[in-house]
Amino acid sequence: MANIVDTMSKDRVKPEEFTAFIEISKGSKMKYELDEETGLIAVDRILSTSTAYPWNYGLIPLTVAPDGDPLDVLVISSEPIIPGALAKCRPIGIMRMVDSGDQDDKVLAVLPKDPMYKEYTDIAQLPKHLGEEIQHFFNVYKALEGKKTETGAIEGPEAAKQTIQACMDAYAKKH
């Protein structure tokens, strides 16, 4: 069965602006994932740690990341976005990450129509603490599940766009 990962129009996913599919609202401890067979949101688990997602979390359709899944995105916004919603985003950075030995980078993005964040074009423009909070969350959110994650550098928008393009190319090659 087709789902958003495969059916979104190619003109809605570009390195400089893309439509994300939101799986998890900021502030949630519930881990949802897109069920690729049905296209619905499925409960994966409740986080075992006492941390919650610091920002909205989802995926970029028409991409394949090095871990074999669609490329992940963290959407920094003034309001939570409900799971299953589509969100037009602009990348402002990328956090490098390894999850259980696999490269699992996270694109950092804002909503071009969010009055609080629409002016930001580079993660370096935001408070340093924001990046540190994101890194901390991804360093500990699986710790009580016995899984190891390791965050790396947070890079700017050009690195994010290059990664998005590489993951779009990987998707095109696979399909």
Asked whether residue 2 carries a pLDDT value surpassing 80, the answer given is no
| Each residue's pLDDT tens digit, 66-108 | 999 999 999 999 999 999 999 999 999 999 999 988 899 999 9
The pair of structure tokens assigned to 174 is: 């696979």
Please indicate if the annotation marks 31 as binding a ligand: yes
Please give the CATH number for the structural domain made up of 2-172: 3.90.80.10
Please indicate if the annotation marks 104 as binding a ligand: yes
CA angle at 76 for the pair 20 and 16, rounded to the nearest 5°: 50
- Residues with Cβ within 8 Å of 6's Cβ and at least 6 positions away in sequence, in order, are 61, 62, 175
Q: CB–CB of 53/71 below 8 Å?
A: no
Residue spans of the domains in the chain: they are 2-172
Catalytic positions, written as ranges: 53
Please indicate if the annotation marks 57 as binding a ligand: yes
Kindly report whether the global pTM for this prediction surpasses the value 0.75. Answer: yes
| Each residue's pLDDT tens digit, 99-120 | 988 899 999 999 999 999 999 9
Please indicate if the annotation marks 35 as binding a ligand: no
